[in-house]
Structure 1
Amino acid sequence: MIKTNPHLRIGQREVESVIAMTELVSGIDDQQGGRYARPMAASFLVNAIGPYLKAEAPDEVRRALLSAAADHCYLTGYMAMDERLDGLANRYYLKALELSRLAGDELTFCTTLRGMSVMHGDLGDGVTAIRLARSASAASPQAGPRMRAFLAGQEAHAAALTGDRALAMLRIKQAESAMEKAESQAKAFGSYDPSALHYHISQVRYELDDLDGAIKSMQESHQAREPAYRRTRVRYGAMLAERKFKAGRLDEACTDWHRVLDEYPLVQSGRVDDRIREMQTLMTPHLRNPSARELHDRSRSMAT
């Protein structure tokens, strides 16, 4: 239980300020990356949300505050993961689970479990990723179609990481079906949209050794992505280039990587940095090729 401060009382206005700040920081993160946005979120968490959580409040306001604080902790954890501060991200995620449980906020609880699954998948830990993805799905039995697609897409990717082809394909079909229903309705959940679904399909195909299919789906993801998500566009653009390179399409890959480098200086993201380093590693054996040499030299000059 959280101890309360009898000398401080809050109302719905403070809850709305937490929601507004979370939305503001989320937009900055989408454009500029976690390394830029997380310090703002962390400072607000300590200096505003912390005291609010200890303040006196009516029960309805307290539940709303716990829910808003949980969402803010989840976002802060996601940005820490984007920085590649995975231990710190996990601590924020655990706090988000605690707060959302206290609030009875099923949506944020399962979203956080899903975020933890993404983190472990990025680290190559498919076993933990699939366990967390299943827990996320189980935590939200009454989810609407967009949320079901959101959860099924991650479970499909995690299953593919473990080599479970049958489960991965089943979950992708479920995600596609749920997304079709969701798109026929008003948008109701965050940023999970056809672009995100195509990304999950690409990830599943890639892990199941369908390289051409993975490239096709990643291109479809790119075409469907909203302009606001620059950090995602840069990171996934680099992943698309990597896959084209592995398919022997060197010139196309170099063209895509140059597009990535056009926006790379605008993004502060450890996960994007990982992709640039991977590109440099892949190019090193091919420096006799003029396109590869030009790309490699450009990326090194930007890093310097």
Structure 2
Amino acid sequence: MERREFVGASIFSVALNIPDWPDVMGRMEAVRTGSARRVGISDVELVKRMTAQLSDTYDEFGGRHTRPLAATFIAQTVTPLLLTDGAVETRKAMMSAAASLCFLTGWMAVDEGMHGIAQRYYVKGLELTGGSGDRLTYCRVLRGVSVQAVDLGHGAMAVRLADAAAATAPESGPRMRAFMGGQQAHSLAVAGDRSAALRSLREAERAMDQAESTSQNLGNYDPAVLAYHVSQVRYALDDVAGSVDSLKLHFRLRTPTDTRRSALRFSSILAERQLELGHVELACNTWAHVLDEYPKIHSGRVDRHVAAIAQLLSPYRANPTAREVRERALQATRGQV
């Protein structure tokens, strides 16, 4: 996929053909064999461990450099392993591990604004879950496409994808319900269905209250992330002040292990909404923190937020604080394409 020309790479297709779970089950064609070696469980562990390390690197530093590493690993290591013969259960495990890596790579492509490429990785991940029977990863990838759609303003499509992910979830524990419900609520709010969005949000909040453990890996979904979803729902429903309050709660609930990349992205959103409320000094203080940390991150999303600071503060150049932050932002983004 990475060898294809980047024409249309940033275009999100609302006509994307998402395979349903019954369709992907058993859909994988018989792969060609003939390699001199057989895929083993150690190969599966290699892919899992590399995916975990790439995810950690992305969370800490952003995706601009991490995504090309992931794409190269898929092309040069994972694809040959998928085309190698082996025991049935081992091959299924390899497909599951590859699906998770495709999902991560697609997520990083979204960060760079390469939405068309991201969709290709997502669809490939969905197809691989069919070959492995990995229903949980299928559900997570489908939800990931919904996140991409709602962030781009495609509310109706985001709702369909979020609902399909929830319906496909392999279990219905409280954390899973919160994980799905928060995304459904955000999608419904962007789609303009206020009552359904608030109802889904209340269900997600109740489910999070019932969650007994954070040990299950559901994309690190916890009360802090749910607070971010509450903020997004409130903002989509024109409650800017409420969205700011929920973002502040998100930061109070964050743990020391939460990532620098997401902190800068959410801080940028907070500053933009503080300014929207007319709180210029508060917004500038938030942006100042973002600019302090910005050189450590290589994230397309954060780049776009920082690039917007100068224009957003342009009407406030008479304010010394705003003028200083605006100049810092201009210097930080100087030379960017």
Deviation per CA, 1:277-297, whole angstroms, max 9, x where unpaired? 222221011111111110110
Deviation per CA, 1:146-185, whole angstroms, max 9, x where unpaired? 2221111011001000111111111111111221222x22
Which region of structure 1 is more displaced relative to structure 2, 23-32 or 127-136? Answer: 127-136
Report the CA distance between 1:193 and its aligned residue: 0.9
**Counterpart for residue 187 of structure 1:** 215
Asked whether the equivalents of residues 150 and 187 of structure 2 are also in contact (C-alpha less than 8 Å), the reply is yes
Find the aligned partners of 2:199 and 2:53 in 1 and give their Cα distance.
Answer: 36
Match for 1:45: what amino acid? Answer: I
Find the aligned partners of 1:280 and 1:157 in 2 and give their Cα distance.
Answer: 29
Q: Does 1:143 align with 2:175?
A: no
**Counterpart for residue 268 of structure 1:** 298
Q: Does 1:257 align with 2:287?
A: yes
Report the CA distance between 1:225 and its aligned residue: 1.9
Find the aligned partners of 1:191 and 1:201 in 2 and give their Cα distance.
Answer: 16
**What SS does the aligned partner of 1:6 have?**
coil
**Counterpart for residue 32 of structure 1:** 61
Q: Counterparts in 2 of 1:284-299, with a 5 A limit?
A: 284-299=314-329
Asked whether the equivalents of residues 4 and 53 of structure 1 are also in contact (C-alpha less than 8 Å), the reply is no
Query: 1:92 aligned to 98, 114, 121, which one?
Result: 121
Find the aligned partners of 2:120 and 2:283 in 1 and give their Cα distance.
Answer: 37
Unpaired runs of 5+ in structure 1?
none
Match for 1:23: what amino acid? Answer: A
Find the aligned partners of 1:72 and 1:39 in 2 and give their Cα distance.
Answer: 13
Asked whether the equivalents of residues 214 and 222 of structure 2 are also in contact (C-alpha less than 8 Å), the reply is no
Query: 2:311 aligned to 264, 271, 281, which one?
Result: 281
Q: Does 1:6 align with 2:17?
A: no
Q: Does 1:57 align with 2:86?
A: yes
Query: 1:115 aligned to 124, 127, 144, which one?
Result: 144
Asked whether the equivalents of residues 160 and 208 of structure 1 are also in contact (C-alpha less than 8 Å), the reply is yes
Match for 1:101: what amino acid? Answer: G
Q: Does 1:44 align with 2:69?
A: no
Match for 2:261: what amino acid? Answer: R
Q: Counterparts in 2 of 1:208-227, with a 5 A limit?
A: 208-227=237-256
Find the aligned partners of 2:332 and 2:170 in 1 and give their Cα distance.
Answer: 48
**Counterpart for residue 248 of structure 1:** 278
**What SS does the aligned partner of 2:278 have?**
coil
TM-score normalised by L of structure 1: 0.97
**Counterpart for residue 77 of structure 1:** 106
**What SS does the aligned partner of 1:188 have?**
coil
Find the aligned partners of 2:49 and 2:170 in 1 and give their Cα distance.
Answer: 28
Asked whether the equivalents of residues 15 and 64 of structure 1 are also in contact (C-alpha less than 8 Å), the reply is yes
Deviation per CA, 1:180-200, whole angstroms, max 9, x where unpaired? 222x22420231111110000
- State the identity %: 44
- Larger helix proportion, structure 1 or 2? 1
Q: Counterparts in 2 of 1:194-209, with a 5 A limit?
A: 194-209=223-238
Asked whether the equivalents of residues 149 and 179 of structure 1 are also in contact (C-alpha less than 8 Å), the reply is yes
**Counterpart for residue 233 of structure 1:** 263
TM-score normalised by L of structure 2: 0.87
Query: 2:156 aligned to 88, 104, 127, which one?
Result: 127
Report the CA distance between 1:101 and its aligned residue: 1.6
Q: Does 1:164 align with 2:196?
A: no
Deviation per CA, 1:14-55, whole angstroms, max 9, x where unpaired? 000000000000000101111121111111111111011011
Find the aligned partners of 2:264 and 2:65 in 1 and give their Cα distance.
Answer: 15
Asked whether the equivalents of residues 32 and 231 of structure 1 are also in contact (C-alpha less than 8 Å), the reply is yes
Unpaired runs of 5+ in structure 2?
1-28
Find the aligned partners of 1:2 and 1:112 in 2 and give their Cα distance.
Answer: 23
Find the aligned partners of 1:295 and 1:280 in 2 and give their Cα distance.
Answer: 8
CA RMSD of aligned residues (A): 1.2
